[in-house]
Structure 1
Amino acid sequence: MELTNSKRKLLTASYVERKLKEDERERVDKVASGGIQKSNLHRALSLSREDLPTLMEQVQKDQSEHRKHLDELMRFAKEWVTGQEHYSNLQ
C-alpha cells in the first residue's frame, strides 16, 4: 500500500556558530555577567522543595508592580530546587 496523501515533513536544522568580530568579542568580554555571584547567592539561599509553597503563597499575596518579576523568580526557584536535587553532591 502506497501513501499518496501523506503530508509529513522532515524538518532539520543545523547549528551555525556565531562568529564575532574582534571588537564585538572585546565588547562582550568586558561586560560582567556575575555568574560567580549568582551561584554564590543560590547556594547561600539553600532553597529546598519544602520552601516553595510558603514562597508561592507570599508571591500570590503580592499585588504590586513587581508581581511579574516575582513570578519569574518563583519559576527560577522551582527549576533551581529541581536542579539542586540532581546535583546535590556538587560542591
Structure 2
Amino acid sequence: MSHMLSTDQTINILDDLSKVDLKTFIFHLRLHTESKRKPISQSKLEDKDSMDIAKLMTAHYGSKGVPQVAIQILKEINQLPLARQLEERISK
C-alpha cells in the first residue's frame, strides 16, 4: 500500500533541517534517480526554501512518491532520526 504525504507534511519535515542540511538535501534531490522519474532540474531547485521544495517534490513525484524519495535522501544525508520519524508518520 502506498502512503501519501501532503505538501504541508513535507514542509514540516524540511523545516526540521538546518540551512546547511536543506542545501545538502536539495543537492541530493537533484541527483535522485531511484524513482521512476528523472530528477528535478537544478534550475528549478536553485534558491528555494522548504515550502518551494515541498511543492516541487509533490508536483514532480506526486503525494504517493514523495515519502520514499524524502526518506531515501534523509538517510543519504545522515538525518536518520528524521527519516525514522517520517517512516513512522506514513505507516500510521
Quick check: which one's helix share is greater?
A: 2
> Greater Rg, structure 1 or structure 2?
1
TM class, shorter-length: under 0.3
TM-score relative to the length of structure 1: 0.27
TM-score relative to the length of structure 2: 0.27
